[in-house]
Structure 1
Amino acid sequence: MSSDYTYDEQGQFFPFFILTLTGLVTLPLTYNLLRPSKVYAKHALPAELENTAPRIKSDFKPEHADLVEAQKRKRLRKERRIKRIITVIVGYIVMAWMVYLILVTARTVAKLYDPYEILGVSRSADERAISRHYKRLSLIYHPDKVRPDPAKNETMEMLNERFVELTKAYKALTDEEIRNNYLQYGHPDGKQSFSIGIALPKLIVMDGNGKYVLLVYGALLGVLLPYIVGKWWYGSQRYTKERVLVASAGNIFREYKEDILDGGIVNALSSGEEFKEMLKGAQAEAGLAKLEKKVLAEESTFLTAKDREAIKQMDNSSRRKALALLWAYLGRIDLGDATLDAEKYEAAPIALSLGEAFTAISLAFGSLRPILGAFQVSQNLIQAIAPGSSPLLQLPNFTESIVKSVEGEHSKEHWTVQKFMRLAEDERRKLTVGAGLLSEKQYTDAVTVARQLPALEVSKAFFKVMGEKVITPSSLVQLVVKARFVPPGCTQVPQINELDLEDIDPDEDDLDALMGRKPAKNRATKVVDGKKVENKIENIQPPLAHAPYFARDHSPRWHVFLADAKQGKMAVPPFTFTTFDKPILDEAGKPTFNVQTLKMQFQAPPQVGDFTFVMHMVCDSYLGLDTKMEITLHIDDPAKAAALEEEDDISEPDEDSIAGQMQALKTGQAPKPKKAKKPSESSSEESDTDGDAGDTSDTNTETEDED
């Protein structure tokens, strides 16, 4: 049996070959583009939060708004990875073309020789029946009997070939020798030749090109493939999970100190290697003298003597310029140079990313001051406000002179936006509107934004263990925080429904909720007028941070953690929340004042007693919206839990009691009526101490007045 191998690009396997090679490149690149960059929180969406969050409505345009927008577009182009997107698009076009070729190209598939099919007889027919059928076909198709049909484009050669095929098929079933050929080789004529089209262009296999083929394969497999794999591996190892360079994390680690303050944190962030990539070559020196002159000017009162000295003593020019640019950004200094101003807006998002690495390092050490400092510097960077400055600068059109008019020349404490908005309307206008102050339009813009800030107020905070009435040593405790968004300046805030402050345990079969992977199915169930009302549990995002000077969209995050105030240490690491379970705004854009539920889970101490913590709830995007409050964890003896459990097992609520009615609503069945008790049993039960089934922890929910 002979074989004819044809090496040409028209081979039937060519589309499969190209489709496979293209898919090996395109599919991994597609996954790389579409995969979530990170999951910020326990209930966060897996996609980028900034792409789906609403925005605060404001017409305010800051100075250099065009430069800020240009930096946003530049960063978006970089994050979108244009080259990869183009490669993926081209890859899918090629794959689609190959699929089209596979579907429309006629492929030569070897067909099995079947004499029964050629003759048109049944496989069960005997030799005599086959002979009779062949004789009838001979009378019809014998060349002496049949004539070509011009309508069918038939020729005598075609008729002769048809009769030969019929004869071969007949002999394959009746002639012993020919039948042996058919049984052994699948054809009455014996071995047959066949052709295979291989997906290689002719140029590759032509005489004299062999060495070039080897050279190409050697370059692809010995050089290009190891280079691509090595580059990918090195690139993946260059970054930490916070997506900063490993070298940057090492530099920041060396700058870390237990007593580091806000200015020291800004100095530490300037050590990031990302700034060297930003300020390449001559950029590190360009405009540095002018930049330092502006930043170190006497009117830059936000800089401490230590911060000034840190800039002056910096030897590395790129880090020195990065530090000066950060202070120029935080102080909102007009540098009088478009290039320098663009660089200061470019530096802020880089510093915020590096701040995540500093936060991770601070959490590893556990000291409270650096942790709080890291969160506060995040607020400063997003709002372009220097450490120690007034939170009122977050409002549009507010400057230091406006702040002094509001707070007073000799005020020792800065006002929060909430305190400013609590003033009567006439008093606010008197302090901010007038000659040398704000116009009516500017004042309206500032108040409009203030009334949209997502101020999360804590209504109740308590500890609990799912399914238990008391907290025992080393049990898995939940800190449940009930809070609602009350924007500054809101009036007629409704009273809280006490049912919204309760926390319902998940059902026994709700494994995801029991493991803390998602909210409980029945958590949104409450009783209104004796009826169960189901509310949808949703992932609601607050509006994007109103940060007109920050050259990147940012979705606010709330960090909740417990601290030991006496030792100045973190007790329970932060839980980060970016989405909430109930709508924050209604369809008209007005606050709903819904009570949101935030939960964090940790292991209780192994001792019995009262443990007082300070709960910090910090918003990373705004100044003055943080909450700090004391909360006490009460841990009971395990014997008390066993006694309560035993009491629950032998007692059921009466049918006509409130508890019985609640159980009927929950289970759909009325409780069984209790048997009559003997006087001695009744008196003994009535002597039990009240409150055993009450709250399991003492909670002080009074928020410290930080105004």
Structure 2
Amino acid sequence: MSSEYSYDEEGQFFPFFIVTVAGLVTIPVTYSLLRKSTDLENTAPRIKSSFQPEHADLIDGHRRKQKRRERKHKRMIAALVGWAMIAYMVYLMSVTARSTPKIWNPYEILDVPMSATEKQIQSRYRKLSITLHPDKARPDPAKNETLESINEHWVEVIKAYKALTDEEIRNNYIQYGNPDGRQSTSFGIALPQFLVTEGNGKYILLVYGSLLGVLLPYFVGKWWYGSQKVTKEKVLVKSAGNMFKEYNERADRNNVVKILSSGAEFEEILHGHKADAGSGQLEKRILADGETTLYASGMTAKDRDRLQDIDDATRRKALALLWAYLGRVELDDKVLNDEKFEVAPTALALNEAFTTIALAYGFTQPVLSVYYTSQSIIQAMPPDSPPLLQLPSFTRTAVKKIEDAALSEARKHITIQSFMDIPESRRRDLVKDAGISTTAYDAAVTVAKQLPRLVIEKTFFKVTGEKYVIPNSLVQFVVKARFIPPGTPNVPAVKPSDLEDVDPDESDPKSRRELEAETKQHQVPLAHAPYFARDHSPRWHLFLADARQGKIAVPPFTFTTFDKPILDEAGKPTFNVQTLKMQFQAPPQPGEYKFQMHLVCDSYVGFDDKREVVMVIEEPSKAEEVESDDEISEPEEDTIAGQMAALKGNQPAKPKRRPARVEELSDSGSDTEEEDEEEGDSDTDTDTDTDEE
């Protein structure tokens, strides 16, 4: 059996092939573009504020640039090209005349029905021979008939007659669709024949060679080497190595800023002449005398020495730009100001990667320093700055005057919540004396009353389904907290039931709506960070530390969403009690274990919580005693279960003597026997709630 290949010479099926191939690529790309983003920064609400910082156009420019990157223009172009190609192919399908091969049918040729008998077929053949035989038929010029066409038609009539009267030929037609038996196999290729003609072969080979030998290896290699250049935190491997080398277990916040400047990402921002352009002017501005600090940028003398000890021009300028951003220093140069806002998001990404390095060592101080540095970068504030600088229009000089007048004791700074707790009239007097206008003050208060301050109401340890925490059990540290923005009046009291953590009843079926309500998570508004050129969704880091050793006992659990609504439909606080849980294995020995709990928000300064918590590990025997009290008693002999036990050879327990009053009720025919039972305490929590420091 031979095989033949036929090409789509008329271009009838080539469009179908192109539509199929293009659709396999275009449809997934289009879906990825139209699919709603699940990134926290794209789904969270925003804090309402009319404040516009200086150089807001530069900050918004970087935000728009980031949005353009997120839109994935390459995918958009690929989708447009793909749909344009599909549309053109569909157009070709609609206008191309398609010819279908005619199937050889002997019944149709003889013009007899398929139910015709052999006698009817012979009669029909004789009639056709009178008019169609070449010796009798004459060509008709009006029908474009020729002698050759008459002969060919008569041959078809003879073949059809034999196919329907000869048993062997008829079987061939039935089995193979042809009176001559099995034919050669033909494969149709949906490619125009001009692509495979002899003259065009070298061009086709050139195209295939370019695709398979050049473009495919290039894109695969680019993807591979690109994936190997970055870590899972999306920073360059070189940057992670540089920060790893500079890690210090006693690193403070100022030192972390210097470590972040070692990121190789800054080489892409400050490439070429940008590494040196304006460096002298930049350092002069950040090292100028400050009004409330040693230097205008908030740097210390040690920070100045660290800067001047750097020989690499790119890193030195990156560090100077970071301090200019943190200190909100005006550089009097549009390019330098633009670079100042550009380095901040990169520094935050590096800071998140440095968190992983700090956690690997397990020391508390560097981890806290990294978290506090995140606050400084998002709010554009030097380390150890007064929290009031987060409010719009509050400058360092104004904050210094407010703190000097408001602080009656030797505290370092006043927090936003403490400031908002001051009576309204007193607050207005303070800001007026500090030189802040009434309009600016009102705008600042509006923002302050929207900030998501998480207030802890209760903390405790528990083991699911158990009354006590025993060695090596799976412990949950539960934090009950509410979002209470600073200055919120008439905060409702907490319901005691909301502070409990009841284990779910597996036997209680829940409706689909209830399950969806439990699994749905709610976000807080995006961080109010007018100087940070990115949208950022706040995160809360919860971990336990051993204060004596200065090491982390339970690694941080990060919370970005919460189980209950934070704001109602009108944007007002709901004061719902949120539940934060972290799970870990209990120590192997009984006793009291003291931990230092840290709850740190990565976006706001002064909203952190630190307190001592105590976990009590009981002896396993104590838990066994509780279990023995709850064991099911043996069946009594006068019950059905007791009789079944007796049949199995077990000795049932003797029936208990009922009280006389019960016997009297039974004798009188009463069927309302009641017994009072004491309910054991089902609270499995070990309360460790202490006063907030």
Give the match's secondary structure for 2:218: helix
Give the match's secondary structure for 1:702: coil
Of 463, 472, 485, which residue of structure 1 is paired with 2:470? 472
TM-aligned CA deviation for residue 190 of structure 1: 5.9
Q: Which amino acid aligns with 2:499?
A: L
Give the match's secondary structure for 1:348: helix
CA distance in 1, matches of 2:426, 2:513: 42
TM-aligned CA deviation for residue 340 of structure 1: 0.6
Of 265, 271, 274, which residue of structure 2 is paired with 1:274? 265
Residues 163 and 693 (structure 1), Cα distance of their counterparts in 2 relative to 1, 3 Å cut: same
Residues 418 and 255 (structure 1), Cα distance of their counterparts in 2 relative to 1, 3 Å cut: same
Residues 593 and 236 (structure 1), Cα distance of their counterparts in 2 relative to 1, 3 Å cut: same
CA distance in 2, matches of 1:85, 1:287: 38
TM-aligned CA deviation for residue 61 of structure 1: 0.4
Give the corresponding residue for 2:624. Answer: 642
TM-aligned CA deviation for residue 196 of structure 1: 5.7
TM-aligned CA deviation for residue 77 of structure 1: 1.7
Of 699, 702, 705, which residue of structure 1 is paired with 2:688? 699
Give the corresponding residue for 1:131. Answer: 119
Please list the CA deviations of residues 252-276 of structure 1 after superposition, one character each: whole Å capped at 9, or x if unmatched: 1111100111111011111111100
CA distance in 2, matches of 1:286, 1:194: 74
Contact 1:265–1:377 (CA under 8 A) maintained in structure 2: yes
TM-score by length of 1: 0.81
Give the corresponding residue for 2:324. Answer: 328
Of 230, 249, 253, which residue of structure 2 is paired with 1:258? 249
Give the corresponding residue for 2:377. Answer: 381
Give the corresponding residue for 1:78. Answer: 69
Give the match's secondary structure for 2:429: helix
Residues 357 and 304 (structure 1), Cα distance of their counterparts in 2 relative to 1, 3 Å cut: same
Give the corresponding residue for 1:68. Answer: 59
Q: Which amino acid aligns with 1:459?
A: E
Q: Which moved more, 1:463-472 or 1:188-197?
A: 188-197
TM-aligned CA deviation for residue 169 of structure 1: 3.8
CA distance in 1, matches of 2:320, 2:158: 97
Of 572, 580, 583, which residue of structure 2 is paired with 1:598? 580
Higher gyration radius (CA): 2
Contact 2:465–2:684 (CA under 8 A) maintained in structure 1: no
Residues 191 and 12 (structure 1), Cα distance of their counterparts in 2 relative to 1, 3 Å cut: farther
Alignment root-mean-square deviation, CA: 3.8
Aligned counterparts, 1:601-616, within 5 A: 601-616=583-598
Contact 2:14–2:192 (CA under 8 A) maintained in structure 1: no
Q: Which amino acid aligns with 1:426?
A: S
Aligned counterparts, 1:168-567, within 5 A: 168-176=159-167, 178-179=169-170, 182=173, 186-188=177-179, 198-299=189-290, 300=295, 302-408=298-404, 412-434=411-433, 437-508=435-506, 537-567=519-549
Please list the CA deviations of residues 285-334 of structure 1 after superposition, one character each: whole Å capped at 9, or x if unmatched: 11111111101112225211111111112111111111000000000001
TM-aligned CA deviation for residue 71 of structure 1: 1.0
CA distance in 1, matches of 2:456, 2:338: 40
CA distance in 1, matches of 2:348, 2:53: 20
CA distance in 1, matches of 2:124, 2:513: 84
Q: Which moved more, 1:444-453 or 1:637-646?
A: 637-646
TM-score by length of 2: 0.83
Identity %: 58
TM-aligned CA deviation for residue 581 of structure 1: 1.3
Give the corresponding residue for 2:136. Answer: none
Contact 1:119–1:134 (CA under 8 A) maintained in structure 2: no
TM-aligned CA deviation for residue 216 of structure 1: 3.0
Please list the CA deviations of residues 634-678 of structure 1 after superposition, one character each: whole Å capped at 9, or x if unmatched: 222222222222323449xxxxxxxxxxxxxxxxxxxxxx98767
- Structure 1 unaligned residues grouped into runs of 5+: 37-45, 145-152, 511-519, 526-532, 652-673, 680-685
Residues 250 and 202 (structure 1), Cα distance of their counterparts in 2 relative to 1, 3 Å cut: same
Q: Which amino acid aligns with 1:15?
A: P
CA distance in 1, matches of 2:599, 2:510: 26
Q: Which amino acid aligns with 1:61?
A: Q
Q: Which amino acid aligns with 2:64?
A: R
Give the match's secondary structure for 1:499: helix
CA distance in 1, matches of 2:180, 2:545: 92
Give the match's secondary structure for 2:457: strand
Q: Which amino acid aligns with 2:688?
A: T
Give the match's secondary structure for 2:582: strand
Residues 629 and 113 (structure 1), Cα distance of their counterparts in 2 relative to 1, 3 Å cut: farther
TM-aligned CA deviation for residue 58 of structure 1: 0.7
Contact 1:12–1:107 (CA under 8 A) maintained in structure 2: yes
Contact 2:474–2:584 (CA under 8 A) maintained in structure 1: yes
Q: Which moved more, 1:474-483 or 1:205-214?
A: 205-214
| 1:14 and 2:14 aligned | yes
Of 541, 551, 566, which residue of structure 2 is paired with 1:569? 551
Give the match's secondary structure for 1:469: coil
Q: Which moved more, 1:540-549 or 1:594-603?
A: 594-603
Give the match's secondary structure for 2:162: helix
Residues 398 and 480 (structure 1), Cα distance of their counterparts in 2 relative to 1, 3 Å cut: same
CA distance in 2, matches of 1:508, 1:78: 47
Contact 2:466–2:684 (CA under 8 A) maintained in structure 1: no
CA distance in 2, matches of 1:522, 1:191: 65
TM-aligned CA deviation for residue 592 of structure 1: 0.8
Give the corresponding residue for 2:639. Answer: none
Give the corresponding residue for 1:656. Answer: none
- Structure 2 unaligned residues grouped into runs of 5+: 133-141, 634-654, 661-675
Q: Which moved more, 1:477-486 or 1:375-384?
A: 477-486
Give the match's secondary structure for 1:433: helix
Contact 1:505–1:523 (CA under 8 A) maintained in structure 2: no
Give the match's secondary structure for 1:621: coil
Q: Which moved more, 1:399-408 or 1:628-637?
A: 628-637
Residues 540 and 165 (structure 1), Cα distance of their counterparts in 2 relative to 1, 3 Å cut: farther
CA distance in 2, matches of 1:9, 1:628: 79
CA distance in 1, matches of 2:429, 2:658: 73
Contact 1:267–1:310 (CA under 8 A) maintained in structure 2: yes
Please list the CA deviations of residues 475-511 of structure 1 after superposition, one character each: whole Å capped at 9, or x if unmatched: 111111111100000111001111111212234379x
CA distance in 2, matches of 1:479, 1:75: 38
Residues 244 and 160 (structure 1), Cα distance of their counterparts in 2 relative to 1, 3 Å cut: same
Of 621, 632, 636, which residue of structure 1 is paired with 2:614? 632
Aligned counterparts, 1:678-697, within 5 A: 693-697=682-686
Q: Which amino acid aligns with 2:247?
A: Y
Residues 132 and 675 (structure 1), Cα distance of their counterparts in 2 relative to 1, 3 Å cut: farther
Q: Which amino acid aligns with 2:448?
A: A
CA distance in 1, matches of 2:155, 2:365: 99
Aligned counterparts, 1:106-145, within 5 A: 113=104, 115=106, 129-132=117-120, 135=123
Which structure ranks higher in relative contact order (CA pairs < 8 Å, sequence separation ≥ 6)? 1
CA distance in 2, matches of 1:388, 1:335: 23
CA distance in 1, matches of 2:476, 2:242: 37
TM-aligned CA deviation for residue 280 of structure 1: 0.9
Contact 1:56–1:449 (CA under 8 A) maintained in structure 2: yes
Q: Which moved more, 1:287-296 or 1:91-100?
A: 91-100
Q: Which moved more, 1:323-332 or 1:220-229?
A: 220-229
Q: Which amino acid aligns with 1:14?
A: F
CA distance in 2, matches of 1:560, 1:576: 6
TM-aligned CA deviation for residue 626 of structure 1: 0.7
CA distance in 1, matches of 2:510, 2:417: 35
Give the match's secondary structure for 1:408: helix
CA distance in 1, matches of 2:510, 2:626: 27
Residues 20 and 462 (structure 1), Cα distance of their counterparts in 2 relative to 1, 3 Å cut: same
Q: Which moved more, 1:440-449 or 1:574-583?
A: 574-583
